[in-house]
Amino acid sequence: MPKAMRASSPERERAAPHPWLAHYPKDIDWHAALPEAPLHAVLDEAAARYRKRPFLDFLGRKCTYGEAGAIVEKLAGAFQEMGVGRGVKVGLLLPNCPQFVFCFFAVLKAGGTAVLYNPLRAEKEIAQQIEDSETDVMVTVDIRRIHSKIAHVLPGSRLKRIVVCRFGRSLPWSKRILFSLTKGRERIAIPRDGIHVPFERLLRHSHKVDPPKIDPRRDIAALIYTGGTTGTPKGVCLSHANLYANLRQTALGLPSAVPGKERVLAVIPFFHAFGMTAVLNAGIALGAEILVLPRFDLWEVLRTVRQRRPTILPAVPTVFAAVASQPNGDRPDLSSLRLCTCGGDTLPSDIRQSFRRLAGCDLFQGYGLSECSPVVTGCAPSGLDKPGSIGVPVPGTEVEIVSLEDSRTPLAPGEKGEICVRGPQVMMGYWKRPDATAQVLREGWLHTGDIGFMDEDGYFYVVDRLKDLVITGGYNVYPSVVEAAIQEHPAVREVAVVGLPDPHWGQQVTAFVVPAADRAPSQDELLDFLKDKLSSYEMPKSVRFLKELPKSMIGKVLKAQFRQTYRVARHD
């Protein structure tokens, strides 16, 4: 049995009462004891309890919890025979697929650390991540556009083994044949060079697992790289205890979920902290059947909802926006959905309302970041309905708003400051970056770099990213405020506001706008529309029209690209 630890910190008794407890959801216990265990224990427990229950459904190819547990056990032995153990890093360069799940838990069970790679990253970024993380073994697929990123950097890299999964073999027979016929040219033949190892060969190994002695608090379970849009990516070190606590916190935040009865639609990438914890790990803790999609495709999502009837959908705003934008004549059947949670970015109120009308169930906003495994706060049906709020802290988590001036003084309700977090899910630190760690981890609190406030009822709100704050002529301008005003114009589909260097004002407020399909407003028309909605210093000095906004794989707008492009253009 996992060792239990109290959800709160030792200082809880000395601290002021937490304001959110007065209005905390009645069916969630903020003081609940959180188990502490190696992360792979969640799958071991589920495989024993839900042995015959469906676990993964990948485009129609299914396996049970019992079958998955046996596969992970065999793979863990094979990884150990390959040299994987405590401190050894194994990279996963994979889209959502069963092999990601099997290898992720097998690496942990062997005692290793899983390094999560984004397959969409550029070859140079992947090469840098391999060396920085000290990845010795890489698991990838036989899809050329993904495998080539490893093949090109292999000479001279530290990689010792490359495990290659045949993507087509994850599919049911009908789709496997279609994949071979239509995507045959996109596949690569696995090289016979002593370095590449077919995934299927690992399944034939008979080496039994030698259970490693894992210290949940000190051993790194996963390295997730973050911050690449604003500078050199940093590896977030998440311990077994961090991730195990957060999956339990997430599951506790879904009190109406019925263990062993739910179906979770997995459209968020597992290599992202949100997908790993809120979809995969929490889904396993609930004994849910996880309907896995390799990537977000609107029509595939709607087809899966119609045919497979998921009950839980965790996703990002872009997914809900796409679903809610369906014409009235093509209204999809979303009646099976009961619990929908949104994370990864701010959820616009109009999208929430549209989705609620379409699905017939509520959509709740949460908040998190990779450094917190990632879930920090959330809303629940039994809590107060606070439009625009990110909810209250999940069990065992403390959140505080501190002054932007000294980064220490706690602020009163309604005052804007930096969001700070303390709890068992807060990271160990940044990999090999003690200076960067010291900047954000201070006296037990994680300084998130997000600006927000708490209301009188203890509910929290995010205003903006501290790094996105625009200071123009000495005034603080919150891009989200300007974006919300511009978004009200009927001819605007999307908008991003950033601060660009200005020799007189320090920074100028600049809006990048994607017009609606039918027409584009002029800059003068848009500025005239904003006159009664923004103060003079909040008004954009420049409006630039684009066909689309650059976004990450989970739908976040990459504002740093605007700033970098401007600098390049300015100096050319």
Instruction: Determine the 3-state secondary structure of 36 from DSSP.
Output: strand
Q: What is the mean pLDDT of the chain?
A: 90
Report how far apart, in Å, the C-alpha atoms of 265 and of each of 259, 269, 325, 369, 510 are.
16, 11, 19, 21, 37
What is the arithmetic mean of pLDDT over 9-34?
77
Q: What share of the chain is helix, strand, coil (3-state, %, to 5)?
A: 35, 25, 40
DSSP symbols for 498-514: EEEEETTTEEEEEEEEE
Distance (Å, rounded) from C-alpha 95 to C-alpha 108?
19
What's the pLDDT at 177?
76
Q: What is the pLDDT of residues 346-392, one digit of tens each?
A: 788 888 998 999 999 989 999 999 999 999 999 988 899 998 999 99
Q: Scan for tokens 């506001």, then name that residue.
A: 497
Per-residue confidence band for 566, with pLDDT thresholds at 50, 70 and 90:
low
CA 444 to chain centre: 23
Q: Rounded to two decimals, what is the model's pTM?
A: 0.85
What is the arithmetic mean of pLDDT over 153-160?
93
Q: What is the pLDDT of residues 164-216, one digit of tens each?
A: 999 998 888 778 777 776 777 889 999 999 999 999 999 998 788 999 999 99
Per-residue confidence band for 562, with pLDDT thresholds at 50, 70 and 90:
confident
What's the pLDDT at 567?
54
Per-residue confidence band for 496, with pLDDT thresholds at 50, 70 and 90:
very high
Q: What is the pLDDT of residues 459-490, one digit of tens each?
A: 999 988 777 888 887 677 888 889 989 999 99
DSSP symbols for 306-366: HHH--SEEEE-HHHHHHHHT--GGG----TT--EEEE-SS---HHHHHHHHHHHSS-EEEE
What's the pLDDT at 7?
41
Distance (Å, rounded) from C-alpha 564 to C-alpha 155?
31
Is residue 276 within 8 Å of residue 116, measured between CB atoms?
Answer: yes
Beta strands in 375-534 (DSSP E): 375-378, 392-393, 398-402, 417-422, 429-430, 441-442, 445-454, 460-465, 470-472, 475-477, 492-502, 506-515
Distance (Å, rounded) from C-alpha 68 to C-alpha 59?
17
List domains and CATH numbers for the chain: 38-240 (3.40.50.980), 469-571 (3.30.300.30)
Among 423, 373, 371, 370, which residue's Cα sits nearest to residue 393? 423
Per-residue confidence band for 78, with pLDDT thresholds at 50, 70 and 90:
very high
Distance (Å, rounded) from C-alpha 389 to C-alpha 455?
9
Range in 99-108, 121-130, 141-150 with the lowest mean pLDDT: 121-130
Checking if the pLDDT of 504 tops 80, the result is no
